[in-house]
Structure 1
Amino acid sequence: MAEPPLQGCRVTEVLATSTGGVGTHVRSLVPPLVAAGADVQVCGPGATDELFGFAGRGARFTPVEISAGLAPAADARAVQALRQALAGTDVVHAHGLRAGLVAAAARRLGARSARLVLTLHNALPDGGGLRRQLLERAERATVRAADVVLAASEDLAANARRLGARDVRLAPVSAPPLPRATRGRAEVREEFGLVDDRALVVAVGRLHPQKGYDVLLDAVARWLADQRVRPAPLVVVAGDGPLHDELAGRIRAERLPVSLLGRRDDVADLLGAADLCVLPSRWEARSLTAQEALRAGVPLVASRTGGLPELLGDAAELVPVGDPEALAAAVVRVLCDSALAAALVEEGFRQAAGWPDEEATAAQLVEIYRELLDAPARPRP
């Protein structure tokens, strides 16, 4: 019997604070890496492990408190903690710029023989000033320090090449299959007090500026005045985050038919009851929500941004970023045109059938790790 490809290899996956896609992705990688023979360690904030349970998937977890934002004193402590955790590691794989910044520094200080892989999941946030300049410098230094940069979408890959990364590859992130729904459509609609044929619009994602929920509320206010959708659809948003109070205040003040549900573990149930899924993000690479909606057979209206056009093709109604009028018009159009909705669902199934699954995603990583281990070490920047 052939020896597993990563037998005897020590792999450390590193992530910063995560409540969504990055943590979900790292959790999905652990079992196939273990099956390939690797000794897998995950390093990240303790709260992230509590949420995703990496140890329960076969990894050792070592707490390293890497925050979501720049914090020099905390970052210095995180670098020292990760440097110690990397002792004996063959491959360190950082997920996201924040984790990559800490991992690159930790490797320079004491794990120089380890190969560094960086996966870029997100673009830098919009903005200017000193903070933006610091982020851009950190991004450039981090992508140049990595042996291989994996990009979740082509725009991220192009940016990494522009910044001088030595080896950039497209590595699409696959959404893990959702658990099977435990409730039917009628039961979910009853939870929200929906009667007759009132439409249910579902959004899933963290309450964060990137996700564009302010634009969604603007769109809801517009379609309230549209006589073609009566009664007005109910919008439910599954997710928590720093904008909760601000969004809740607007919903109350403007009496919008929107309900903030908080973090939910029944997304499959919500999608099964949805008439439409909406993704108003300012930027996405390969949105897990978009993948889940198409696989679930739910029509999708999303922003034309980042990696979404290449991910979705013709399987969704795409609208300009930050345009509530276009978003409202697209939602109304799909809800009022059953033939269009059915065509989107059918095309969605076709599009989703061509996506790599978790097994293919993990197999690509195993191949990259093995390639790095077999290759002569390159000079470190």
Structure 2
Amino acid sequence: MTQLRTVQVLGGGSAGSSAHVRSLASGLVARGVRVTVCAPAELDRLYDYLGAGAHFVPLPRLGDPATVTALRNACIGADVVHAHGLQASVRAALALSAGSRCPLASAGGGRGPLASAGGARSPLAPAGGGRTPLVTTWHSRHHLDGARGGVQRLLERTTVRASSVVLATSSELVDRARLRGARDARLAPVTVPAARGPVCLHDGKARAELGAVDRPLLMAVGALERGRGYGTLLDAAREWRELDPQPLLVIAGEGPERAALQRRITAEGLAVRLIGRRDDVAELLAAADVAVLPSRREARSLLAQEALRLGVPLVATAVGGVPELVGDAAELVPYGDAGALAGAVRGLLEDAERRMDLAAAGRVQAGTWPTEDETVAHVLSVYDELAGR
């Protein structure tokens, strides 16, 4: 039997999908699979796909026409191409479509942004005719409004129909993929690597660095962008000012909303620190008294997974795949409800026994998730099925 060859494609590269591809590449290589990872160059510097034993092909920036050419060349001879996220799925589908002219051509009688010039078949038409099978994984769900939301829905419909199999990390995303017309959508919970090495809970050094030696420490992690719920989180922080001692909220992450958030923190005198992107998030999270996840949309949140594994009590919004992921091992509140968020955090800070119960429940819940090895084995079984092995 010939050696199976797969190409993994990343677009924007969220932390969850990028870490999953690193874990997947390492596990597949260990099983004798030839793996090529195609992604923006900076992701290899962050996740070291070469170190996992994969071949790495850097992709040009988003929107560069050379991206599709680079992907098409990388996919020659592949048994299965696996794209992670919507951007990557669009690129991969275009690369696998022979003779596509322009990814988003609008010629051809005004049939929409994905019609090919001259009335030809869309370059994202469903797979067939012996084309290399395309697997797409939906790691999360982004919510866009107005015209951008319409384009997003159109791209979702077109890419899932171009895919042989759609893997989704939560039941909600499976339903969404089927609604968009996926021929084969399957639940595939993704477990990303746990923190390597020992992690010390309530580490005094980390708390001192963050400025929370004699006060409660709250921790949030994620890109500083719209839809993450940070406005609501700052509203809650305003309510925590009455507590004695006043808790410190630390937010790790970068993004376009940083300047606006910092202006508000300064103007309102909030006990909040923005510490940017960090590579020691597990250590910082382990030092926290409570983790907070205020997002509008989540599937299998990295923060939720890490918090429950570490036994850090979690307050999260009851959205997307979060309830399915955490079960009864976290305090869940409605999205956008600052009062409920503030109250849940305050209740935990005032109830040490409840924090201990959640810590224990979190570790039990984490034990129900698939391991990295099981995740790799499941994905490989899909590849073997599509490759007729």
State whether residues 181 and 269 of structure 1, in contact with CA within 8 Å, keep that contact through their aligned partners in structure 2.
no
Unaligned runs of 5+ residues in structure 2 are 100-126
Is the aligned partner of 1:144 residue 2:139? no
Q: Deviations over 1:160-202 (max 9, x none)?
A: 1111111110001112111335666111122123343x10001
Partner of 1:52: 47
Secondary structure (helix, strand or coil) at the match of 1:209 reads: coil
Is the aligned partner of 1:94 residue 2:83? yes
Question: Following the alignment from structure 2 to structure 1, what is the Cα–Cα distance between the partners of residues 213 and 30?
Answer: 49
* CA-CA distance at 1:122 after TM superposition: 1.7
* CA-CA distance at 1:295 after TM superposition: 0.7
Which one of the candidate residues 142, 145, 157 is aligned to 1:127?
145
Partner of 2:208: 190
* Gap change, CA 1:242 and 1:181, over 3 Å in 2: farther
Question: Following the alignment from structure 2 to structure 1, what is the Cα–Cα distance between the partners of residues 166 and 23?
Answer: 19
Secondary structure (helix, strand or coil) at the match of 2:98 reads: helix
Question: Following the alignment from structure 2 to structure 1, what is the Cα–Cα distance between the partners of residues 163 and 199?
Answer: 43
* CA-CA distance at 1:66 after TM superposition: 5.4
Which one of the candidate residues 164, 172, 180 is aligned to 2:189?
172
Partner of 1:79: 68
Secondary structure (helix, strand or coil) at the match of 1:150 reads: strand
Unaligned runs of 5+ residues in structure 1 are 376-381
* CA-CA distance at 1:113 after TM superposition: 2.8
Is the aligned partner of 1:202 residue 2:219? yes
Which one of the candidate residues 233, 240, 243 is aligned to 1:223?
240
Q: Deviations over 1:196-251 (max 9, x none)?
A: 3x1000111111223211211111012223xxx31110011111122211111111
* CA-CA distance at 1:256 after TM superposition: 0.7
Partner of 1:328: 342
TM-score (norm 1): 0.90
Question: Following the alignment from structure 2 to structure 1, what is the Cα–Cα distance between the partners of residues 51 and 271?
Answer: 39
Partner of 1:11: 6
Question: Following the alignment from structure 1 to structure 2, what is the Cα–Cα distance between the partners of residues 195 and 134?
Answer: 48
Is the aligned partner of 1:252 residue 2:270? no
Alignment of 1:25-64 (within 5 A): 25-64=20-59
* CA-CA distance at 1:24 after TM superposition: 0.8
State whether residues 179 and 268 of structure 1, in contact with CA within 8 Å, keep that contact through their aligned partners in structure 2.
no
State whether residues 181 and 272 of structure 1, in contact with CA within 8 Å, keep that contact through their aligned partners in structure 2.
no
Q: CA RMSD in A?
A: 1.7
Is the aligned partner of 1:374 residue 2:363? no
Question: Following the alignment from structure 2 to structure 1, what is the Cα–Cα distance between the partners of residues 28 and 153?
Answer: 32
Question: Following the alignment from structure 2 to structure 1, what is the Cα–Cα distance between the partners of residues 362 and 213?
Answer: 28
Question: Following the alignment from structure 1 to structure 2, what is the Cα–Cα distance between the partners of residues 182 and 313?
Answer: 24
Q: What amino acid does structure 1 have at the position aligned with 2:234?
A: L
Is the aligned partner of 1:117 residue 2:135? yes
Which one of the candidate residues 341, 344, 362 is aligned to 2:376?
362
Secondary structure (helix, strand or coil) at the match of 1:223 reads: helix
Question: Following the alignment from structure 1 to structure 2, what is the Cα–Cα distance between the partners of residues 195 and 347?
Answer: 26
* CA-CA distance at 1:91 after TM superposition: 0.5
* CA-CA distance at 1:131 after TM superposition: 1.9
Identity %: 49
Question: How many residues of Structure 1 are paired with residues of Structure 2 in the alignment?
Answer: 359
Question: Following the alignment from structure 1 to structure 2, what is the Cα–Cα distance between the partners of residues 124 and 108?
Answer: 26
Partner of 1:154: 171
Partner of 1:378: none
Question: Following the alignment from structure 2 to structure 1, what is the Cα–Cα distance between the partners of residues 198 and 383?
Answer: 36
Question: Following the alignment from structure 2 to structure 1, what is the Cα–Cα distance between the partners of residues 69 and 285?
Answer: 43
Q: What amino acid does structure 2 have at the position aligned with 1:357?
A: T
